[in-house]
Amino acid sequence: MDSKIKKIGILTGGGDCSGLNAVINAVTKTAITKYGIEVIGYRRGYFGLYTNDFMKLDLKAVSGIMHQGGTMLKSSNKDNLFNYAMKNPDGTITYKDVSDVALENMKREGVDALIVLGGDGTLTSARDFARMGMTVIGIPKTIDNDLPATDVTFGYNTSLETITDALDKIHTTAFSHDRVMVVEVMGRNTGWLAVEGGLAGSADVILIPEIPYDLEKVAEKIAERDSSGKLFSVVVVSEGAKPKGGEIFVREIIEDSADSIRLGGLGALVTKQLQEIIPSHEVRYTNLAYLQRGGITSQFDRSLGMKFGVAAVDLVMSGESSRMVIYKNNEIQHIPLVDVVGSGVVGETSKGGSKFVDPNGTVVSTCKAMGISFGD
């Protein structure tokens, strides 16, 4: 055990998801009961680290939070302390590296190590803080399941349950009115939520970023169902899907965000275009949007979150730094943070960058064997 560690901090960055509170619960309880050290939680991610806004985490503070979605510490995805937006008196913005302020705040409060929960942007900053000498351990967090090296991330399972439940409900109204129902899901540039949720939810068509689609092919699938007496169809659209020869549909660009490109709205466009191709059908649109982030945390995500939290504290206390906890081959392991960030590689187990759905992999092959179309 590293006897120099007397107090650790924890923060959550990026978008929220179910399972974050389970990790916070496990980190706090492990630090206190197993090692007898203090824990504080920085509010609103790196913003709290910069402004020194934190709360003491003890056994009472984390009691009864494990099942709750979201994060008790709140979060932010606009605060890159290595390129922080400073507003000038004249209204202009100047970007400045304020990472030294974060280090000074930790030193002032006697925080010896930091556990960071986040996705690619948040963990990139964690890696950079480690390079400055901070003892830091990363924990992967995203509903998109697009982080490399780990088989799964917490939050993903709960989101899939939400999508599957929504598709079950959509089916009843689609059947009742002989409609084509288009359901948009999140996932950014990867199709894990769409393909796994669509498979479990009995979708007829799934459009994902990894397989460019042709709406004429989608219309052919709907016509095929019509001819067999199935006069309704459910089309799941991943927000990052794109047509053959086309580009992704960008809803807006948020200049002051670390993740400036915002997707969403492709489902509405697909609905309009499909309606023009198949005028004999009513085509309706539903965007699950932020419903996929919230709600009661599933058993799997609670369990995985707690295992990650315990492992992160153990790593800190064993003297490790600049590592990320992962779930691999049904075991909790850890890898260097430098292996987490980088360029994307297509494949279900890519090492760097994002983890994409393999168009020739098991899940897509299973879908196609079940008669599900990808519009290709």
Q: How far is CA 29 from the centre of its chain?
A: 25
β-strands 84-87, 323-328: how paired?
unpaired
Give per-residue pLDDT as tens, 110-156: 999 999 999 888 999 999 999 999 999 999 998 999 887 899 999 99
Give the burial class of 61: count Cβ atoms within 10 A of its Cβ; 0-12 exposed, 13-18 middle, 19 or more buried: middle
Joined together, the tokens standing for residue 240 give 């990052």
Give per-residue pLDDT as tens, 170-204: 999 999 999 999 999 999 899 999 999 999 999 99
Most distant pair of Cα atoms in the chain: their distance: 72
In contact, 318 and 308? CB cutoff 8 Å: no
Could you give the residue numbers annotated as active site? Answer: 144
Task: Give the 3-state secondary structure of residue 332.
Answer: strand
The DSSP code for 358 is P
Bridge partners, 138 (sequence order): 116, 324
Give per-residue pLDDT as tens, 203-218: 999 999 999 999 999 9
Map out the domains of the chain with their CATH numbers.
7-154+297-339 (3.40.50.450), 159-293+357-369 (3.40.50.460)
Q: How far is CA 68 from the centre of its chain?
A: 17
β-strands 93-96, 261-263: how paired?
unpaired
Model pTM score: 0.91
Tokens 């197993």 sit on residue = 34
The Cα-based distances of 63 to 19, 22, 40, 67 in angstroms read 15, 10, 15, 10
> Whole-number mean pLDDT of the chain?
92
